[in-house]
Structure 1
Amino acid sequence: MTDAIVWKLVDRAEWDAARKVGAYAGSAVDLADGYIHLSTTDQLAETARRHYRGRTGLLLVEVDLRGLDPVWEASRGGALFPHLYRPLPFTAARSEQGLSVDDDGLMRFDDGATGWG
């Protein structure tokens, strides 16, 4: 795969705590699975709907994969998802945007924007 930019939905408090050590080791699900789950632009809305519905206090982190050597593995519906088998360094985070995911699975950004793509 060639996508250089992917996305990570994270709990804001977990991200802020990880900032102190310079890398994000992952959520409880990431740690249990042994890799950090990331999504391409096309996969992001469905990831939010399936896994973050009803959650507040989130960040959407734009991740530059260059130099991180992700592994692209089949997941939901056979689609290839980027998985990172190492902590995510903060130097790879290009931007962060606060959001929540409503009960219908729609991303609602802190700046008032909704949806994705």
Structure 2
Amino acid sequence: MLIYKIFRAPEWAQLQAEGQTQGAPIDLTDGYIHFSTAEQVIETVAKHFAGEPDLMLLAVDADAAGDTLKWEVSRGGALFPHLYRELSMPDVLWTKPLPLENGTHIFPDDMT
């Protein structure tokens, strides 16, 4: 199963440059890296990244994360995937930009 992380341009650049990251500021505050499922990610972007340009969508294999990935209750009582270790470039299966058109982020048609 794929899970998704949204990074702003500087966060994505840091991961590329350093090869690993503890995540965005919210991840550092909470002590884990926030991810969303395919069903959750559009709402996540609308709620936390509305109107922000230059976002990058990263896909990660949930099974490959093993026991460092915990499914925990979050927004609306839904289970969200949280990674309790650094994210590294080898974890990332693919990346795609999320262009902003007329105030709305455009997701890839095929997120697999």
% same residue: 38
Change (3 A) 1:78 1:100: same
Give SS of 1:67's match.
helix
State the partner residue of 2:106: 108
Residue 30 of structure 1 and its aligned partner are, at CA, apart by: 0.7
Number of aligned residues: 108
Runs of 5+ in structure 2 lacking a partner? Answer: none
Sort the Cα spacing of 1:92 and 1:45 in 2 relative to 1 into closer, same or farther, 3 A.
Answer: same
Tell me, in whole angstroms, the C-alpha distance in 1 between the residues paired with 2:95 and 2:64.
20
Q: What's 1:54 paired with?
A: 51
Tell me, in whole angstroms, the C-alpha distance in 2 between the residues paired with 1:94 and 1:87. 15
Residue number in structure 2 paired with 1:89: 88
Q: Output the CA distance in 2 between the equivalents of 1:102 and 1:21.
A: 30
CA deviation after TM superposition for structure 1 residue 103, in Å: 7.3
Extract unaligned runs of 5+ from structure 1: none
1:26 and 1:5 map into 2 onto residues whose CA distance is 18
Q: Shift of residue 87 of structure 1?
A: 0.9
One-letter amino acid of the structure 2 residue matched with residue 25 of structure 1? Q
Equivalent runs, 1:3-42 vs 2, <5 Å: 4-42=1-39
Structure 2: which amino acid aligns with 1:83? H
1 or 2, which has the higher helix percentage?
2
C-alpha change, 1:48 and 1:101, in structure 2 (3 Å) is farther
Partner Cα distance (2:64, 2:13) in 1: 23
- TM-score w.r.t. the length of structure 2 is 0.85
2:98 is matched with: 99
Moved over 2 A (4+): 100-104
CA 1:44–1:82: 2 relative to 1, 3 Å: same
Closer/same/farther in 2, CA of residues 84 and 101 from structure 1, 3 Å limit: farther
